[in-house]
């Protein structure tokens, strides 16, 4: 931003007084310049200061028209400029509107002020008289004739929310449904900050689209009724699920924060995994205001925009390990590949974007490996395990050594290409079963594990994930596998090979592309993340539902063994705690301490 902006903030805000600035939007006729001024108030004052908090998308930073702030030009993004035009009272005897708008009321050039104001964001939105959600300008009917305009759709939303469905014919419902779909695709729904802005509002937020409006609660009521006409759009099942998930996630989060007085950081990160942030630090900082009060002091995260992104994300992981949630959390995220200067146990939180596995290296990589039962930790599933050492870069975590990877097959980009590799996988399994474990005491158990599951099961992590379930795969999948590899023909009751193999192939597509198929020194078989290598170690971390792959590294003058975390894995035969039950609990193996850097 230009240096002249600092002249608009002659006096710094006092954090000890919980001071904020308010934007006074002066009335004015249409097409006249937007004129505003700032005042400073304390959130500690009584009665509370009045203001409406604006929740909006900043938009393109290169398109910056100016408003007049204290009678001098002040650049804002086009989306905010448009919002202020719509929010301004344009009547002849209009009144000013008092707003809290982050891009204007916070001196964005002053890092210390940004730090303190972001730390107060929960109080800012909770104290607002209203939260106004600006979605953008209305959709005109003439530009989308099939879908109708936003104005009529909002009229339908109001009627449905008020229980007057009989007054709305099917054509208007379908049109309103289509507008609702398009509203959901507006950028506002993709921002990380809107989670907090919506969840912390103490009064039902108001959605604004051009000159039309509706309360959040009534929007959700209307949406539930409109779902019944969704078939008119011919959405795929996945598209409809995505749209439901997006709105349900927002609404569930708002209700959970209100009901529970906050959420855990782990849950908030899961809620926000598909949300975007201009500053990557906000993938964490944008969630802090929604945390439970008792969690805020545990492994406390201090807002500081001077910190490197890796340190901010490490702070978040330090908190999760302090809460005893670290191993479980790491089993369900993408680490994002090796990044210079980042500890290997620190995920790239910008990579946790849902529904984009075809673009990302891994899609929440551990999630599809989750077993149906108690998980690989068995009786250690609830263990409070792991801590970050004082250097802030080393994770110490307890668990079991499983085995060493001896052969790997890098799986191709597409499922069709992966299916061409099935014969190679069968060869690897054949060689693995012939290997004799060297530890005599453990040999009977390892032989049992490696023969407990067939390849067709391992290739789908032994689960049926159709419709987002996590069920045991049906026996018919074995017949389908045999047909795919050419050892069986198409059953007589099926006329189409595509129809016959579809369900099993859908499960394969969730597991195989861009993964690694591997076998170990003792003959175990499994699937892992991309980038696995011969010599990697398979380990169990108590408290995690899936095994972890770690890689030995050499550090100068190191007095102990250190490892990099590669990622989560699926290992046939041990995913329900069998190894912990049989070997660890029977004192055939000791706890290993792994030091991950």
DSSP letters spanning 291-316: B-GGGTTTT-----TTS-HHHHHHHH
**377-405 tens-digit pLDDT:** 999 888 999 999 999 999 999 999 999 99
Quote the pLDDT of residue 369: 73
Rounded (5°) CA angle 445-447-453: 105
How many whole angstroms separate alpha carbon 195 and alpha carbon 209? 19
**7-16 tens-digit pLDDT:** 899 999 999 9
Nearest to 179 by CA among 129, 216, 219: 219
Taking the CB of residue 540, how many other CB atoms lie within 10 A of it?
29
pLDDT band at 144 (very low <50, low <70, confident <90, very high): very low
Greatest alpha-carbon pair distance for the chain in Å reads 92
Strands 66-69, 19-25: pairing kind: unpaired
pLDDT band at 164 (very low <50, low <70, confident <90, very high): very high
The SS3 call for residue 52 is strand
Task: Enumerate the domain spans of the chain.
Answer: 1-128, 265-351, 378-470+508-596, 471-507
Q: Exposure pattern of 339-364 as b/e (b: 16+ CB <10 Å)?
A: eeebbbbbbbbbbbbbeebeebbbbb
Percent of the chain at pLDDT > 90 equals 72
Burial degree of 117 (CB within 10 A; 0-12, 13-18, 19+)? buried
Nearest to 310 by CA among 597, 550, 1: 597
- The DSSP secondary-structure symbol of 34 reads P
How many whole angstroms separate alpha carbon 78 and alpha carbon 576? 54
- Residue located via tokens 């001196």: 107
Quote the pLDDT of residue 359: 34
Those residues whose C-beta lies under 8 Å from the C-beta of residue 69, and which sit 6 or more positions away, are 8, 36, 37, 38, 104
Nearest to 233 by CA among 180, 157, 303: 180
- The DSSP secondary-structure symbol of 590 reads P
In this predicted structure, the answer to whether residue 582 has a pLDDT above a threshold of 50 is yes
Please tell me the least confidently modeled range out of 170-174, 227-231, 274-278, 451-455. Answer: 227-231
Tokens matching residue 311: 């340190």
Taking the CB of residue 146, how many other CB atoms lie within 10 A of it?
8
Mean pLDDT of 229-254: 67
User: Of 231 and 507, which is predicted with more confidence?
Assistant: 507
pLDDT band at 355 (very low <50, low <70, confident <90, very high): very low
Burial degree of 372 (CB within 10 A; 0-12, 13-18, 19+)? middle
Compute CA distances 300 → 129, 277, 303, 377, whole Å: 30, 22, 10, 28
Mean pLDDT of 45-69: 94
**16-41 tens-digit pLDDT:** 999 999 999 999 999 899 999 999 99
- Residue located via tokens 């490996």: 369
pTM to 2 decimals?
0.88
Mean pLDDT of 412-422: 97
- The DSSP secondary-structure symbol of 108 reads T
Q: Which residues pair with 518 in a beta bridge?
A: 408, 526
Quote the pLDDT of residue 360: 36
Mean pLDDT of 86-115: 96
Percent of the chain at pLDDT > 70 equals 90
Rounded (5°) CA angle 536-539-542: 155
Rounded (5°) CA angle 59-119-264: 95
Mean pLDDT of 510-531: 96
pLDDT band at 340 (very low <50, low <70, confident <90, very high): confident
Mean pLDDT of 514-529: 97
Q: Give backbone dihedrals phi and psi of 519, rounded to 5 degrees, phi first.
A: -130, 160
Quote the pLDDT of residue 555: 86
Across the chain, mean pLDDT equals 89
Helix/strand/coil percent split, the chain, to 5: 40, 15, 45
User: Of 180 and 529, which is predicted with more confidence?
Assistant: 529
Residue 61, CA atoms < 13 Å, CB-side half-sphere: 5
Mean pLDDT of 541-568: 93
Nearest to 474 by CA among 487, 461, 464: 464
Quote the pLDDT of residue 233: 52
Quote the pLDDT of residue 361: 34
């Amino acid at each position: 931003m230009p240096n002249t902006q600092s002249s608009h903030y002659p006096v710094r805000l006092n954090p000890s007084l919980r001071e904020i600035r308010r934007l006074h939007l002066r009335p004015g006729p249409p097409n006249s310049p937007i004129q505003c001024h700032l005042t400073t108030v304390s959130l500690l004052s009584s009665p509370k200061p009045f203001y409406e908090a604006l929740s909006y998308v900043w938009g393109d930073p290169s398109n910056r028209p100016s408003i007049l702030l204290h009678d001098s030009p002040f650049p804002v993004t086009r989306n905010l400029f448009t919002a202020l035009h719509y929010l301004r009272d344009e009547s002849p005897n209009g009144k000013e509107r008092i707003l809290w708008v982050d891009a204007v009321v916070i001196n964005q050039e002053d890092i210390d002020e940004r730090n303190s104001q972001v730390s107060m964001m929960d109080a800012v939105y909770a104290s607002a008289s209203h939260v106004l959600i600006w979605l953008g300008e209305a959709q005109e009917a003439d530009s989308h004739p099939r879908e109708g305009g936003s104005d009529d759709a909002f009229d339908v939303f109001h009627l449905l929310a008020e229980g007057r469905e009989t007054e709305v014919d099917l054509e208007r419902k379908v049109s309103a449904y289509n507008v609702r779909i398009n509203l959901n695709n507006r950028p506002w729904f993709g921002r990380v900050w809107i989670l907090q802005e919506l969840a912390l509002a103490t009064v039902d937020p108001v959605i604004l689209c051009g000159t039309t409006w509706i309360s959040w609660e009534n929007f959700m009521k209307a949406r539930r009724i409109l779902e019944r006409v969704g078939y008119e759009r011919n959405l795929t099942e996945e598209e409809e699920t995505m749209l439901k998930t997006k709105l349900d996630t927002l609404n569930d989060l708002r209700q959970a924060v209100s009901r529970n007085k906050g959420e855990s950081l782990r849950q908030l990160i899961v809620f926000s995994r598909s949300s975007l942030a201009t500053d990557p630090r906000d993938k964490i900082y944008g969630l802090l205001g929604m945390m439970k009060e008792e969690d805020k002091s545990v492994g406390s995260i201090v807002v500081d925009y001077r910190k490197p992104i890796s340190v901010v994300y490490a702070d978040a992981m330090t908190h999760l390990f302090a809460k005893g949630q670290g191993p479980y959390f790491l089993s369900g995220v993408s680490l994002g590949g090796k990044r210079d200067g980042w500890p290997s146990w620190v995920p790239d939180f910008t990579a946790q974007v849902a529904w984009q596995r075809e673009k990302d290296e891994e899609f929440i990589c551990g999630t599809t490996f989750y077993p149906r039962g108690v998980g690989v930790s068995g009786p250690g599933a609830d263990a409070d395990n792991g801590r970050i050492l004082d250097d802030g870069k080393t994770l110490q975590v307890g668990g079991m050594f499983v085995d060493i990877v001896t052969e790997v097959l890098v799986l191709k980009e597409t499922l069709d290409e992966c299916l061409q590799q099935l014969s190679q996988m069968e060869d690897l399994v054949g060689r693995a079963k012939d290997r004799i474990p060297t530890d005599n005491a453990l040999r009977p158990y390892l032989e049992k594990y490696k023969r407990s599951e067939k390849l067709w099961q391992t290739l789908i992590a032994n689960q049926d994930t159709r419709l987002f379930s996590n069920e045991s795969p049906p026996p018919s999948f074995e017949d389908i596998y045999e047909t795919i590899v050419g050892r069986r023909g198409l059953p007589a009751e099926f006329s189409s090979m595509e129809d016959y193999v579809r369900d099993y192939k859908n499960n394969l597509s969730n597991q195989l592309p861009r993964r690694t198929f591997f076998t170990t020194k003792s003959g175990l078989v499994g699937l892992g993340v991309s980038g696995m290598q011969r010599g990697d170690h398979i380990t169990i971390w108590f408290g995690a539902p899936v095994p972890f792959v770690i890689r030995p590294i050499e550090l100068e003058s190191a007095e102990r063994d250190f490892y990099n975390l590669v990622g989560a894995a699926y290992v046939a035969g041990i995913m329900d705690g069998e190894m912990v039950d049989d070997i660890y609990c029977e004192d055939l193996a000791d706890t290993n301490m792994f030091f991950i850097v």
